[in-house]
Chain A
Amino acid sequence: MLTIQNISKTFNPGTVNEKCALRGLSLHLDRGDFVTVVGSNGAGKSTLFNAIAGNFFVDEGRIRLDGQDVTFLPDHKRSRSIGRLFQDPLRGTAPHMSIEENLSLAYLRSSSGKSPFSHISKEDKALFRERLELLGLGLENRMQQPVGLLSGGQRQALTLLMATIVTPKLLLLDEHTAALDPATAEMILRLTTQIVAEHTITCLMITHNMSQALSLGNRTLMMADGHIVLDIAGEERRKLSVENLAERFKLQAKELLDNDRILLS
C-alpha cells in the first residue's frame, strides 16, 4: 500500500539552523495495516507524516502509494487518497463555516466528476446526516451551526468524519487525541478504530502512550533522530510488555544523548 524508500529531509540547509529531520528512512505498509508510531519529541514523526502527505518534497528517496509514485505530487493532489488528523482540533475544520459546509468541502475529494458550480445536493445532505448520527454526538441536529461553536472533542470527531467521509487509502493520525480530556480521547479513539476497521483503512498513528502503542493495531514503530529504530509486529509484539517498550524508549533516548556527547566532546 505505502512504500517509502530511503527518504531524507534537511530543513534550512547550509544555515546555522540546519536540521536533518529524516535520514534515509524506509518503510513498507500492507493494505489494512494499523501501525502505531512512538518516539521522543523531535524524533521526526510529524515530519515523516508531512513527507507522506506532501507538505514538502523530500530531498532524496521515493514515496509510492498504492502503486502510484507520489514523490513529486503536490499535497492537494495526494489528499484525494490521504486523510489526516492533527493534535490541534482547530486545524482540520473551517470555524466560520457550518458543519454541513465543512463536510461538503471534505466530500469534494470524491466529486471529481461533479461540476464546481453545482450546489450541495439533497443526497449529499442525507449522507452527511447519516454519518453524523454514527458519531452519536447529536451533531446531526446542528448541521447549520458554525463549527467554531463546537468543543475541541466535537471538532475532532467531525474532523475524523471529514477525513474518512471519502474512504482514504491511508489515514495519518498525529497524536489526534492528545489535546482532549481522557473521556473524550477515549471516545475519539473508539470512533477511530471503528471507522478504520469498517473500511479497512491503512493507518499510521503517532502516540506518546506506550500501552496504546501496543494495544492498538498490528504493528509498532519507534523513531529516533530521523530513523526507524524499532519495528515490531506479530508474536514479538504480543510478547512485548508496556514496561519493555518504555525501557527501550529510554535506552534509545540515552543512546542519542551519548552520541551527542561524543559529537560535542
Chain B
Amino acid sequence: MLYILQTTFELGVQYALIPLALFLSFRVLDIADLTTDGSFVLGMAVSVTLAAAGHPIAALFAAMLCGALAGFVTALLQTRFGVPSILAGIVTNTGLYTVNLMAMGWSSNATILRQATIYTMFRSLGIGGRWSNLLLTAVIVALVAAAIIWFLGTRLGLSLRATGDNRDMVSASSINPAYTVTVGLCIANALTALSGALVGQSQRSADINAGTGIVVIGLACLIIGETLCRRGSMARGVLSAIVGSIAYRFIYAVVLKTRIVPIECLKLVTAIIVALAIAMPTIREKLAFNRRVRKAGKEG
C-alpha cells in the first residue's frame, strides 16, 4: 500500500510540470498548445540519450532547451506566418515525431543501461532513503514552480498575462504580442520537456509513443487541481497544476487497484472528463436558459 502511495506521488510530481505548462499556455496565454505531446517525448528522448552517454544533469538542461525550441517553432508559425494556433501546434507535433526518432538514434525507444541518472546520483548522497526519488523530483518541481510564480510578477510576466486577457492592450503598452506569445510557448514547452526528461530518467527508458494524449491528461490534471484549489491568483494556479497532477495519479491508482473502470478505458474516461469540465460553463448556461423558457411557457 505504501509502495503504491509512493509511486503515485512520484508520478504525480514528475508529470506535474505538464499541467503547469498548460496553465501557462491554456490559461495565461489562452492558447491551446498541441505541441505538448511531442515536446514531452522530445524531452524524454534527449534526456535518456544524453544520460546514456553519461551526462544526466546536462541532459535536463538540454531537454528544456529542445522543448523551448519546439515551442519557438509553434510560436513562429502562428505569430509570423499566420498559421492558426491549434494547427501550428499539430504541425510542429507531427514534425517532432521524426525529430524524436532521430534523438533516439533512429529507434522507437532508448534505454539507460548501467549509466548514472540524476536519481541514482542523488540516492548515492544518502539523503531521503527510500523517498529520495520523490524528494529530488519534488525539489526540482518546487524550484520551477517558484520561478514561474516569480516570473509572472515581472514586467514581462505581466505582459504575458495581458496577452491572454486583452491582446490589444499589449500592443497599446508598446509590447509586441508576437513576442509575448513566443516567450510563453517557449517556457511552456521547456517545462513539458523537463517533465519528459524526469520521467525518462526515472524509468530509464524513452518511447516514441510515451506522449500520446498527454495534453488531454495534462488538462484533466489542471482542471482537477482548479476544482480542488479554486481559481484565483497566479500562485494558486501554479499550485493547482501540481495538486491536480498528484490527484490525477491518485485516481489512476485507485482505478488500477479496484478496476471500477477497465484500465483500457482510462483514456476515454479522461477525455470525457476534460470535455465535460471545459463544456461545463456553457452547459450550465443552456440549462438555466431552458429552465427560464419552460417557466415562462407555464406562466403563459
Contact = CB atoms under 8 A, between A and B. Distances in A.
B206 to A, nearest CB: 33
A75 interface: yes
Contacts of A104: 155, 158
Given A97-B158, A105-B158, A119-B154, A92 B174 contact: no
Contacts of A163: 172
B124 interface: no
A94 B155 contact: no
B75 to A, nearest CB: 16
Nearest to A109: B174
A101 B155 CA distance: 9
A45 interface: no
A27 B154 CA distance: 40
B189 interface: no
Interface stretch (A110-118, A223-231, A249-257): A110-118
A80 B166 contact: no
Interface in A79-97: 79-80, 84, 91-97
Interface residues of B, number: 21
A203 B206 CA distance: 62
Given A116-B156, A117-B155, A117-B156, A105 B169 contact: yes
A74 interface: yes
- Which of B153, B166, B170 has the most CB atoms of chain A within a 10 A radius of its CB? B166
B158 A76 contact: no
Contacts of B169: 91-94, 102, 105
A157 to B, nearest CB: 16
Nearest to A74: B176
A18 B156 CA distance: 40
A84 B7 CA distance: 55
A119 B155 CA distance: 6
A91 B177 CA distance: 16
A142 interface: no
A108 B168 contact: no
Given A104-B158, A105-B159, A95 B172 contact: no
A264 to B, nearest CB: 37
A117 B171 CA distance: 19
Nearest to B231: A96
A64 B170 CA distance: 23
Contact of B174 (A77, A119, A120): A77
A105 B162 contact: yes
Interface string A151-194: 00000000000010000000000000000000000000000000
Contacts of B166: 91, 93-95
Contacts of B176: 74, 76
- The A contact surface, by secondary structure, is loop
- Interface size for chain A: under 10, 10 to 19, 20 to 34, or 35 or more residues? 20 to 34
Given A79-B173, A106-B173, A108-B174, A97 B165 contact: yes
B147 to A, nearest CB: 11
Interface in B174-211: 174-177
Interface in A123-166: 163
Contacts of B155: 104, 108, 111, 114-120
B173 A116 contact: no
- Which of A76, A77, A120 has the most CB atoms of chain B within a 10 A radius of its CB? A76
Contacts of B161: 94, 96-97, 101
A62 B138 CA distance: 58
B3 to A, nearest CB: 43
A101 B156 CA distance: 12
Given A75-B171, A76-B170, A116 B162 contact: no
B154 A117 contact: yes
A76 B162 contact: no
B153 A92 contact: no
Nearest to A91: B168
Nearest to A92: B169
Contacts of A117: 151, 154-156
Interface string A230-254: 0000000000000000000000000
Contacts of B158: 97, 101, 104-105, 108
A139 to B, nearest CB: 18
A76 B159 contact: no
A108 B172 CA distance: 10
28 contacts: A75-B171, A76-B170, A76-B172, A76-B173, A76-B175, A76-B176, A77-B174, A84-B172, A93-B169, A94-B161, A94-B162, A94-B165, A95-B165, A96-B165, A101-B158, A104-B158, A106-B173, A108-B155, A108-B173, A108-B174, A109-B173, A109-B174, A111-B155, A114-B155, A116-B155, A117-B154, A119-B153, A120-B155
Interface of B: 151, 153-156, 158-159, 161-162, 165-166, 168-177
Given A104-B158, A105-B169, 6 more contacts: A92-B169, A93-B166, A105-B173, A106-B173, A111-B155, A120-B153
Across the A-B interface, give the 7 residue pairs with the lowest CB-CB distance, nearest first: A94-B165, A116-B156, A76-B171, A94-B166, A109-B174, A105-B173, A94-B162
